[in-house]
Amino acid sequence: MSRKTSKSDNFFSNKVAVTFTAILILAGLFVAAFFLTTFIVEKVGDNDTPVLPEITLEDKSEQQEVTTSGKSESPETTAPETTQKQETTAPVVQDNTPGNVDYPSDDASWKLICLNRSRYVGSEVENQINLSYVAGSGELMDSRAAAAYEKMYDAAAGDGIYLTPCSGYRSYSTQKRLYNEFFNEYLYQGYSEEEAHNLTSKRRNPPGSSEHNIGICMDIICASSSANFQNTKAYAWLDAHAHEYGFILRYPEDKVSVTGVKFEPWHWRYVGVENAASIKNSGLCLEEYLGLA
């Protein structure tokens, strides 16, 4: 009986020892796996060399674009000095922000829509625009503006001037991505959300507030050579004739305090022939002409 008991005790203590050893091995494996995973994640992270913290947007492809693109844009802008790294994940940048300006359904109102940093359309505008390529280019505009641009292009070409389209329609989504690039950079540098918005909006138009988001304007020369555009024959031609085709200089040199945008000799806005003539003759910028200044 006592031998039996002893055998049973041995069996019991062996079982405890085996179980204990197994737990130790499992714990060891778990710890090893944890360190290995951390190591791998860090390695992969290094290869990606992320510039911005991970942000939460509606899809991965867009997030990827935010992290990697747009470095060549806005040569006039420089990031502020780094203050401190923000360790927390950046908050979500709001999508589907409603506009405070309705996108007009009738031609007359559409021609005179005024967008700026305090007047913007909502993201739904993206589905409401009828776009066309400007003939012979890869640039899109609202089809009404594209037709007018083509007439103007042909007229200028007849005078030996080529108004090569550089940047027409830019979707709300694209504008949001461009905006978020800077916004998230400021968050990463330790600014609050409010500060980040204030700083970003000085450098880039928030989504829905750029005329490019509704395809009603065209940048006629690309940023790399924009500095001297006002001294070109193309600018002189536009200054003399653009209104005949329904286009106005949207951001004149003497209206910076009203528009809040620096002189942009390359940015021409469609308003229709009659409005363009009135605006040009009045010497007012669009905000003033509409009584919004």
Stretch of 64-72, 84-92, 98-106, 218-226 lying at the interface with Zn ion (CB under 5 A):
218-226
Concatenated DSSP letters of the chain = -HHHHHHHHHHHHHHHHHHHHHHHHHHHHHHHHHHHHHHHHHHHHHHH--SS-----S-HHHHHHHHHS-TTS-TT--PPPP-----SPPPPPP-SPPPSSPPPSSHHHHHT---BTTB---GGGGGT--EEEPTTSS-EEEHHHHHHHHHHHHHHHHTT------B----HHHHHHHHHHHHHHHHHTT--HHHHHHHHHHHSPPTT-SGGGGT-EEE-S-GGGGGGGGGSHHHHHHHHHGGGGTEEESS-GGGHHHHSS---TTEEEE--HHHHHHHHHHT--HHHHTT--
Rule CB under 5 A: choose which of 146, 219, 276, 286 binds Zn ion. 219
Closest CB to Zn ion among residues 63, 137 = 137
Measured from the CB of residue 248, what is the shortest distance to Zn ion in angstroms?
13
Question: Annotated catalytic, 264?
Answer: yes
**By CB under 5 A, is residue 150 in contact with Zn ion?**
no
Site residues (CB under 5 A) for Zn ion, limited to 96-135? none
**By CB under 5 A, is residue 65 in contact with Zn ion?**
no
Number of residues that bind Zn ion (CB under 5 A): 2
Measured from the CB of residue 195, what is the shortest distance to Zn ion in angstroms?
26
Measured from the CB of residue 35, what is the shortest distance to Zn ion in angstroms?
52
Identify the active-site residue in 73, 244, 264, 288: 264
Q: What x/- string results for residues 231 through 270 when contact with Zn ion is judged by CB under 5 A?
A: ------------------------------------x---
Give the catalytic positions in this structure.
264
Interface residues with Zn ion (CB under 5 A) are 219, 267
